[in-house]
A and B are shown apart, each in its own frame.
Chain A
Amino acid sequence: MALQDYIRSRFFPHIWCVGCGHGTALNALLRAVETLGLDPSDIVMVSGIGCSSRMPGYVDFHTLHTLHGRALAFATGTKMSKPELTVLVPMGDGDALAIGGNHFIHACRRNIDITAIVLNNRIYGMTGGQFSPLSGPGVVATTAPYSTYDPAFDVMRLAVGAGASFAARGSTYHVVELQQLLVKAISHKGFSVIEVLSPCPTHFGRRNQQGDSVEMLEWLKANTAKLGSKAAEENPELITRGIFVEDERPEYCEQYERILEQAREG
């Protein structure tokens, strides 16, 4: 199938700002789905609230646009009722790690076969540029005019610590790698977390002297490195990209099915 067959082109141009990384993340996700040859009618995309959560509107899969922070709860219900479907959950900083933080860690712990795509733009874009748990210290936001001073979550360490069996980080500059990571995340049996460093030129770039989308992508190019690379080893300040964890562990729906069988046997 061609890329055009996976989108609802009547809703384009999309709502995202000029140069928004979320558009590139959607682009990469569609190509990953195309590579895997998935049938759109076998995919469910579930989202909460925020810029990232507008994504299901643009894809011609089964789609659910749900409550803020609760996308994983709806996705869990969807997956448990129809385990044969591929469930994708695009989430922003807030959905995944602020209001939805509790759902996030428990989805990791259960190892339910869902792919959570955490679009990390380090800011709440849709509501006007408030800082988020992924902003980190020294960031200027509408709610931190003199800059933030609290540390950010490390999404990878959090996901791995909570029990996700697949965790990877990519960036919208490194698009080919991002497509490959998404293919692996979607194929993985169990809970997959993929963090995508996705620039928000409108609210983050503008307030933090990071410039426009081109400059923000240049920043990602200069400030990230492949996990285990020489560059990452020599400069611990660089943000690492790659697969942090890829484990085989019992999957939640399969375990539930086993319990049902046991109960039926009496």
Chain B
Amino acid sequence: MPKRTIADVRINSLWCKRCGICVHFCPREVFVSGEDNLPRVRALDRCTGCRLCEYWCPDLAIEVLIDDE
């Protein structure tokens, strides 16, 4: 299997409604609730690229960018 590098986890702050689903359910606790409850990536190195945050996000506001090596 190719090694995957998580290039970025992007949050669209204009679409995000601050529900907190990504912060609460991320199995690797990548997010933290930041200023104004906007999720912030606190530990990109913990991200395994499972994309669950992307799939759960009711606002289509998260994008996980993965580089396949």
Contacts and interface: CB of A to CB of B under 8 A. Distances in A.
A179 B57 contact: no
Which of A20, A22, A27 lies at the interface centre, i.e. has the most chain B CB atoms within 10 A of its CB? A27
A18 B59 CA distance: 9
B58 A24 contact: yes
Nearest to A22: B58
Interface string B38-69: 00000000000000101111111100000000
A23 B20 contact: no
Nearest to B24: A214
Given A175-B52, A214-B21, A13 B15 contact: yes
Interface residues of B, number: 19
Given A213-B21, A214-B20, A214-B25, A23 B60 contact: yes
B60 A3 contact: yes
A31 interface: yes
B63 to A, nearest CB: 8
A137 to B, nearest CB: 28
Contacts of A212: 19-20
A19 B57 contact: no
Given A12-B15, A13-B15, A27-B60, A217 B21 contact: yes
A230 B52 CA distance: 25
Interface string A4-23: 00010000111011111111
Contacts, number: 66
A179 B54 CA distance: 13
Contacts of A31: 55
Given A214-B25, A217-B25, A175 B19 contact: no
Given A214-B24, A214-B25, A217-B25, A24 B56 contact: yes
Interface residues of A, number: 27
Contacts of A27: 54-58, 60
A19 B15 contact: no
B15 to A, nearest CB: 5
Given A31-B55, A176-B52, A217-B21, 17 more contacts: A3-B60, A12-B14, A12-B15, A12-B59, A13-B15, A13-B59, A13-B61, A19-B21, A19-B58, A24-B57, A27-B55, A27-B57, A27-B58, A30-B60, A175-B52, A212-B19, A217-B56
Interface of A: 3, 7, 12-14, 16-24, 26-28, 30-31, 172, 175-176, 179, 212-214, 217
